[in-house]
Structure 1
Amino acid sequence: MLNKLNQYLAAALFLAVFACAVNAQNKTQITAPNGQVYKISGTDRLRKDEELVVYTLAYYAKNPTNQSGVDVLVADDKVAVVQDRAGAVYLQSKPDPGAIKTDKKGYILSAHGAARKWVLANLKVGDAVKLGDAPAIVKNAAGEVAPAASLPCFEGAYYRKVVSSFDAWTGIVGIVKLGTPKVDESRLSEKDRQPLDNFSVYMGGRAGDKEIDAGLTWAFTKDEQGNLSKQRNAWRPFWRNETWNNAPAEKQFYWYPGDTVQMAVIVAGPGKLRLVIADATPQPKRVFQIEFDAKTFAPNTPRQFKRVNAIDQFGNEGKPVQPTKAEVTGAEWLQTILLRGAGADAKQLPMDKTRLTDMRCSSEKHIVVTATDAAKGAEKIDVYGTPKK
């Protein structure tokens, strides 16, 4: 009897120490391999709507979650199992696979609603993840949050990206000379014989768990009779929030390699962004402007803004880049400005090296950057699917 009691006390002590270790570390967020983070709402308690909760295995075994979310087993700091119970039951009309059963060491992440969507978009089996405190916010003498020293690349494209810190930014404005795309004729879709690579130069940002892209994509055009071009042959405005959207296929919204344009993505109100693209001339003949929903860009929410030059790959987002001979060359940002404040009172601050994180993806060998005026955030950019020797 005494031996059994001692065994029970030892087991209870182990579980208590383990639970205390998890709680004592005050874990507040989960970080995915692509650098995206999500707030932890609690530990070893009932998961509520829209929450991400972390569970010790002992608690989870006695108090399993319900079928309205996704559960993830993390063992040795890597994702071992992703069990999307809500997807199986409500989207695929399949039986509930149930709670995760395991004899491994580790912990469980359980997510519902928006948190579930984040998990499915950012975590997969084999991914290394970090459970930890939000990093301390470092500010410079002007009171601006310093940019990250580095950020991981998001797989699936070749691109040059500069991105600000998360701070009270209200927009990004730039002047860019558009590059010349060159497709890889050996990489064509079997369905329509169109290239599997495309090109974009754009801005955008992130607030909360939502990323916004808005700018110019290499697109098909229509002639005056309404006939669609056989190949993509012009830069045309697009924006992506919850859905992908394009400007009308009309000649006043076409720009061509060598054209110089003004581009801006600006907070237009609570949950709203405005995209503006126009000729970079005193009296522009071509102007496109659209205001669209960006729900997470709410008051008092830290925001991050970016500009990107990319070779995109159809159906490859989040996957390793595919070899290609596609390239886009001759692009040049003449100026890039971050906005801080609203309307006419907004401060215009150069997006120089003190206000950006430099990203060259999938690796530096695919990106050639030539600084022309660092103080203005000005540089020439060439992006190559196959590096130039």
Structure 2
Amino acid sequence: MDNIAVKPLEIKIALQKQACFGGAWYHKVMSIEYPFYGIEGTVTLPIPFIRRYDQNYKAKHVVDLNHKNLDVSSIYMGGHASDESDVGLALFRGYLDDQISTGAFVYRPFWRYITDEFEDIGTYDLEKGRNYAATLLSERNGIKNIYAQYHPSFTEYYYLPGDTLKLSLFSPKPNFMQLQITVIDVSRLPYSANLRRRYQMKVPQTFLSPMFSSKGHGTDMPKTYKRVNAIDQVRNEGKEAILTKTEILNAQWKNCFLYYKENNTLFKTL
């Protein structure tokens, strides 16, 4: 989605009240409803000071790799056409000296989608080139809520505080979406540089997710898009957010654009 001209979208539509789903602390910026074709934004990843852990463990570090965290930092985008799809980065566990960590400490890609069509549910199969797993979270009347992520052995898709990335959510064909994460600048923060060196992580690379079903996207159907900074909370989805001392510092959105078409030409608008 590079080399698309930026052109203001000159329309006047009343802003709609945002609906906020319980169980997390977050800042959400949502678009108007319009036949958009995707969203992109450039962001510098924050430093997560996680302070809620299993068994009331008291952390002394930025994150504790050896204890299960109950707060999760996430930076993501989403689109709502017929149903909602979210994509982006969340703080996940990763490999430390060939063993998976107990606590989450690296930002890794995820994509979540709701569908009654192409579901793609399944586990990893690295030998056959399936490097991701897609898990059924819930199902109602044949509508499936699916969560997918890449295998943690691919350390080139570990992103750390201070990395500057361009996130793009777009439709490669009607009724499907895809996430691309492009590396703009690698973090120079001592915390991140030391983690990469100590655990021999590969240099971060551009990531492209598989296509996933998302009805209405890639068509002229009116849609809304969003960008979100969140503190998600383990086993608390849909409930009242739990008070926490966790801090997620210095997330910086450099820009954010929406894709739209005019005379069948694709443009970007702020």
TM-score scaled to structure 1, two decimals?
0.49
Q: Does 1:198 align with 2:64?
A: no
SS in 1 for 2:34: coil
SS at match of 1:252: helix
Match of residue 76 from structure 1: none
Match of 1:276 among 180, 183, 200: 180
Give 4+ residue runs of structure 1 displaced > 4 Å after superposition. Answer: none
Amino acid at match of 2:46: G
**CA offset at residue 144 of structure 1?**
3.4
Question: Hey, what does 1:287 align to over in structure 2?
Answer: 206
Query: 1:332 aligned to 2:252?
Result: yes
CA contact (8 A) 1:189 1:196 kept: no
Contact 1:159 1:309 in 2 (8 A): yes
Pair 1:231-2:134 in alignment: no
Question: For 1:1-389, what aligned pairs fall within 5 Å after superposition?
Answer: 144=11, 146=13, 148-185=15-52, 187-188=53-54, 194-208=68-82, 210-223=83-96, 226-241=98-113, 242-249=145-152, 250-281=154-185, 286-290=205-209, 291-297=211-217, 299-341=219-261, 345-350=265-270
CA 1:285–1:257 in 2, change beyond 3 Å: closer, same or farther?
Answer: closer
Distance change >3 Å, CA 294–CA 145, structure 1 → 2: farther
- 8 Å CA contact 1:178–1:256 kept in 2: the answer is yes
Q: Does the 8 Å contact 1:278/1:287 carry over to 2?
A: yes
Q: Using structure 2 for the length normalisation, give the TM-score.
A: 0.69
Name the SS for the 1:205 alignment partner. Answer: strand
Q: Distance in 2 between matches of 1:207 and 1:144?
A: 20
- Shift of the 196–144 alpha-carbon distance from structure 1 to 2, 3 Å rule, reads same
> Aligned-residue CA RMSD in angstroms?
2.6
| Cα distance in 1, alignment partners of residues 217 and 183 from structure 2 | 27
The range that moved more, 193-202 or 268-277, is 193-202
Q: Among all aligned residue pairs of Structure 1 and Structure 2, give the percentage whose two residues are the same amino acid.
A: 30
Separation in 2, partners of 1:267, 1:275: 9
**Number of residue pairs matched by the alignment:** 204
Q: Work out whether residues 157 and 317 of structure 1, in 8 Å CA contact, stay in contact via their aligned partners in 2.
A: yes
Give the drift of 1:302: 1.0
Deviation, 1:149, is: 4.9
Q: Indicate conservation of the 8 Å contact 2:37/2:217, yes or no.
A: no
- Deviation, 1:275, is 0.3
Alignment correspondent of 1:104: none
1:13-57 Cα deviation digits (max 9, x unpaired) = xxxxxxxxxxxxxxxxxxxxxxxxxxxxxxxxxxxxxxxxxxxxx
Distance 1:285 1:229, change over 3 A: closer
Report what 2:134 is aligned to: none
Tell me, in whole angstroms, the C-alpha distance in 2 between the residues paired with 1:189 and 1:341. Answer: 52
Contact 1:144 1:167 in 2 (8 A): no
CA distance in 2, matches of 1:199, 1:285: 19
CA contact (8 A) 2:158 2:204 kept: no
Aligned 8 A contact 2:18 2:30 in 1? no
Residue aligned with 1:280, SS: strand
- The Cα of 1:298 is off from its aligned counterpart by 5.8
> Which residue does 1:23 correspond to in 2?
none
Q: Which amino acid aligns with 1:287?
A: T
CA distance in structure 1 between the aligned counterparts of 2:16 and 2:79, rounded to whole angstroms: 18
- Conservation of the 8 A alpha-carbon contact between 2:68 and 2:102: no
Q: Which has the higher contact order (CA 8 A, sep 6+)?
A: 2
Indicate if the aligned counterparts of 2:54 and 2:70 stay in contact, CA closer than 8 A.
Answer: yes
Shift, 1:261, TM fit: 0.6
Query: 1:145 touches 1:165 (CA, 8 Å); kept in 2?
Result: no
- Decide whether the 8 Å contact of 1:176 with 1:332 is kept in 2: yes
Question: Contact 1:214–1:238 (CA<8 Å) still a contact in 2?
Answer: yes
Greater helix proportion: 1
Confirm or deny: 8 A CA contact 2:43 2:165 kept in the other structure: yes
Question: 1:326 Cα shift?
Answer: 1.2
In the superposition, relative to structure 1, how do residues 296 and 259 fare at CA in structure 2: closer, same or farther (>3 Å)? same
SS of 1:215's partner is strand
